Chain A
Amino acid sequence: MKRPILWIHEEALGPANPALRAWPEAPALFVFDTRWIQNSRISRKRLGFLYETALELPLTLRKGDVVAEVLAFARRHQADGVVTSTGVDPRLQQIAEAIETELPLQELDPDPFVELSRPPRLGRFSRYWREAEPVVWESYSPAG
């Protein structure tokens, strides 16, 4: 990918967004997902919060169908692909999959909270934390 656009979504609206870090000069887009906003009855409180957050990033802001808007933004910038951050929300994953049917898509993982050598046991927090806590604290040293 030589001329990507960036799709910035609502799980990674900060400077640590790996797509923004990897491509600081690329045109970047945030789309207010109108279907999600209507279906989940998202209040104006969250919309305002997202808007104010997005304004502090170098983003073009749009609203509507996210897939259609991302693809249109790619055409607008004659992009050869889309870079984004890996999402957790299945809705974002589905959007990424739909984009990928039209254009090359690269998903970059955000910095992890804890990197475990094998997937932890979930089901209950205590099981996970038994494995994760010692690893989290490895990077701490009381001396600073």
Chain B
Amino acid sequence: MPTVQTTSIPGDLPRTFASRKELERLLVEEFPSAEGSLSPIRGGRQAAEAKLSQVNPARYAKSRNHLKGAVTGLSPYIRHGVLTLAEVRDAVFQRIRNRNDGSKLINELGWRDFWQRMWLDLGEGIHDDQEEPKTGHAASSYAKELPADVRDGTTGLACMDGFRDELVSTGWLHNHARMWMAAWLVHWRRVHWKAGADWFLEHLIDGDPASNHLSWQWVASTFSHKPYFFNRDNLVRYGGTRHCDDCSSVHRCPFDGSYEQLEGQLFAPMPAIRSTGNGRNRRDGRPGNSSVNRGRSGASAALARPKR
């Protein structure tokens, strides 16, 4: 790309830095209200192309739900148009041997496109509940503010505090961790999804109200037919035991239990949603987490029951 030379005038921000430290110093000076440090995730097309070259669509399809799975890490670059969805789509097409190898990853790109179309459609309305929650609790019963222990990472739940630390220090979280955190905050802590979604946006490098807020609404059930929740078995299956091993709450883990038990504990009874036979009661899969989707048949269950 040709470089356009324009003479610098006062107020132009510098374009050369001896180091990342120097860039960070400038940001402190120019944007004193912004908090934290630089992310280990580097910006720029070069970094994006390096990440893109590592993408393995078939491995992604097999392992993406695991915290250590072969996820792409492309979201910050796609969010800011460093890479377009069209470029990533074409890169996937070039790399796969058959359609099956690429279908999961292309599907995820489709989710990004879907959220963007929803945002165009909704505009500022994306900040509102799209539907009533299906948790048996009134929307007004959810706390409007993010609890301080959540913001500070001092809840005593090693998993959630760990995810919070990762979010705050890197600006990125595996999608599954985002969903667990969202579900915990909304359904266990009874905090309104918007408080959590806004907090995520403060930190997520890839965040925008399209993917972020609508995913939170999907978890909360204000943009889905049923709330998403999980249990400890699910967390361990996809995240390992590294959090539980050192958790001070290991013997009073709020995620311990069967889905039936947790469902009874978290949600108030709702009138059963009857299957009309036209698919109305089927739930859409959620990006990155098809294996943790709430049950798909759902003929009469009013609440979510993740597939195990």
Contact = CB atoms under 8 A, between A and B. Distances in A.
B246 interface: no
A49 B84 contact: no
Contacts of A48: 20, 23-24, 27, 38-39, 43
Contacts of B14: 61
A41 interface: yes
B267 interface: no
B170 interface: yes
A110 B79 CA distance: 13
Interface string B24-62: 100110110111111101111111100000000000000
B2 A24 contact: yes
A114 B90 CA distance: 12
B124 A43 contact: no
A44 interface: yes
Contacts of A118: none
A144 B20 CA distance: 40
B161 interface: no
Find the residue from B80, B112, B120, B204 having the highest chain A CB count within 10 A.
B80
Interface in A104-141: 110-114, 120, 122, 124-126, 128-129, 132-133, 136-137, 139-140
A53 interface: yes
Contact of A53 (B45, B203, B209): B45
A135 B23 CA distance: 43
Given A13-B80, A49-B205, A89-B119, A60 B35 contact: no
B94 A53 contact: no
A101 to B, nearest CB: 20
For chain A, give the interface size range: 35 or more
A20 B34 contact: no
B113 A41 contact: no
A90 B125 CA distance: 10
Given A14-B83, A110-B81, A110-B84, A49 B39 contact: yes
Given A43-B34, A44-B38, A49-B41, A12 B81 contact: yes
Contact of B203 (A45, A55, A128): A45
Interface of B: 1-4, 6, 8-9, 11-15, 17, 20, 23-24, 27-28, 30-31, 33-39, 41-48, 76-77, 80-87, 89-90, 93-94, 97-99, 102, 106-107, 109-114, 116-121, 123-124, 170-171, 198, 201-205, 207-210, 282, 284-285
Interface of A: 10-17, 20, 24-28, 32, 34, 37-38, 40-58, 60-64, 76-77, 85, 88-90, 110-114, 120, 122, 124-126, 128-129, 132-133, 136-137, 139-140, 142, 144
14 contacts: A17-B81, A43-B203, A46-B207, A49-B41, A49-B43, A52-B23, A52-B47, A57-B45, A60-B8, A85-B81, A89-B119, A122-B118, A128-B117, A142-B99
7 nearest interchain CB pairs?
A52-B43, A53-B43, A12-B81, A45-B171, A113-B85, A45-B39, A49-B43
